[in-house]
Amino acid sequence: MLERLNLAMEHIEGRLDRSIEAAELARIAMTSEYHFRRMFSALAGMPLSEYVRRRRLTVAGAEVLARERTLLEIAVRYGYTSGEAFARAFRAVHGVGPGEARRTGAALCSQPRMSFRLIIEGSSTMRYRIVRKQRFNVIGRKARVRQIHEGENPAIAAHVASIGRETLQRIASLSDQEPAGIVSVIRYLSDSREEGSELDYWHAVVSGADAPGELDVLTVEAGTWAVFENTGPYPQALQHMWRDVATQWFPSNPYENRPGPEILRIGPAQDGVLAELWIPVSRAAH
């Protein structure tokens, strides 16, 4: 998997002055576009589109200082429809406009080329199982919030606190399959999962029942799920588990993300919480 990802990175480098399609990168990596975008974001720490933008403006910066092309020629070469649009993007990355950079020889910022490699630590074994589930409903209360990568999400905490005790008991009574009890369900609205992007959050149960009219419902089609467990302080136990799933488990196993919500069940543990994470997956096509 990592070898194929690195071939995709080479493809990016060869087309910085042309169109770069995520579908083509996914084909080179021998995976789906959905999985490729999520894997890239987890491994690189930034969305694919942001990496491509930074690389283009890095090489464009070198051309600005080289003085071999006009600024408009450079702008058009790297996909900008006007000198003004290029100047805005250039300043956002380099902290200085292209004209000033050329006049003064200003120091510019550089986004290095990325490549991926596997570091074998052998310090832990990931516990997981593969589960096939039939069609089910997520029933509870939904809120649209913004993604936060580290620490507790205050918008989610406020949403959960706003649910009355009677409503929570009514939701809990509808649980009739695993993961049992009240769970957190997240449906990402952006494949890249960048900080600040919007997502839908349910405080809910997994159920085969029909939803009462006053509750929110999400119908999830039948499919395969990878189920992971981790213990530790909250929310670090969850955030570290997702990081390890993305950077260690997926590159080492013949599965890939498929569209669908992620489900989290939290229970008490001696050193914090027991987190059980359900991720929708499919067998990778090789």
CATH of the domain at 75: 1.10.10.60
Q: H or E element: which one contains 243?
A: helix 236-244
The pLDDT value recorded for residue 122 is 42
Does 112 fall in a domain? Answer: no
The pLDDT value recorded for residue 162 is 95
Does 114 fall in a domain? Answer: no
Residues 137 and 248 in one domain: yes
Does 60 fall in a domain? Answer: yes
Alpha-carbon radius of gyration of the chain: 23
Name the pTM for this structure. 0.70
Residues 131 and 202 in one domain: yes
Omega of the bond leading into 98 within 30 degrees of 0 (cis)? no
In angstroms, what CA-CA distances link 37 with 101, 180, 220, 227, 233? 33, 31, 22, 21, 29
Q: Which residue has better confidence, 240 or 83?
A: 83
Q: From CA 55, how far away is CA 38, in angstroms rounded? A: 19
| pLDDT class of 136 with cuts at 50, 70, 90 | very high
The structural domain count of the chain equals 2
Q: From CA 23, how far away is CA 263, in angstroms rounded? A: 27
Residues 253 and 152 in one domain: yes
- Give how far the C-alpha of residue 279 lies from the chain's centroid of Cα atoms, to the nearest Å: 12
Residue type, 233: P
Does 33 fall in a domain? Answer: yes
Q: What average pLDDT does this structure show over 115-119? A: 68
Q: From CA 83, how far away is CA 72, in angstroms rounded? A: 5
Q: Which residue has better confidence, 266 or 203?
A: 203
Lowest mean pLDDT among 74-78, 123-127, 187-191, 219-223: 123-127
Q: From CA 285, how far away is CA 191, in angstroms rounded? A: 20
Lowest mean pLDDT among 48-57, 92-101, 189-198: 189-198
Q: From CA 237, how far away is CA 268, in angstroms rounded? A: 12
Residues 246 and 140 in one domain: yes
pLDDT in tens, 2-16: 788 889 999 999 999
The pLDDT value recorded for residue 286 is 55
Q: Which residue has better confidence, 94 or 107?
A: 94
Q: What percentage of the chain reaches a pLDDT higher than 90? A: 55
Residues 131 and 266 in one domain: yes
Residues 83 and 190 in one domain: no
Does 48 fall in a domain? Answer: yes
Residues 78 and 131 in one domain: no
> Looking at 104, 139, 154, which one is the last position of a domain?
104
The pLDDT value recorded for residue 169 is 95
The pLDDT value recorded for residue 192 is 61
CB 87 within 8 A of CB 99: yes
Which domain range does residue 224 map to?
127-283
Residue with tokens 């052998």: 122
With CA atoms as reference, report the closest residue to 273 among 227, 236, 242, 228: 236
Does 111 fall in a domain? Answer: no
In angstroms, what CA-CA distances link 133 with 151, 181, 193, 279? 31, 16, 25, 12
pLDDT in tens, 228-244: 988 888 777 777 787 78
Close Cβ partners of 266 (under 8 Å, ≥ 6 residues apart): 184, 234, 238, 273, 274, 275, 276
The pLDDT value recorded for residue 126 is 64
Q: What average pLDDT does this structure show over 56-71? A: 92
> Looking at 73, 104, 135, which one is the last position of a domain?
104
In angstroms, what CA-CA distances link 113 with 142, 173, 243, 259? 40, 52, 22, 29
CB 284 within 8 A of CB 161: no
Task: Check whether 167 has a pLDDT greater than 80.
Answer: yes
Does 134 fall in a domain? Answer: yes
Task: Check whether 63 has a pLDDT greater than 60.
Answer: yes
Residues 278 and 144 in one domain: yes
Residues 172 and 64 in one domain: no
pLDDT in tens, 171-217: 999 999 999 999 999 998 876 666 677 899 999 999 999 888 889 99
Does 90 fall in a domain? Answer: yes
CB 2 within 8 A of CB 26: no
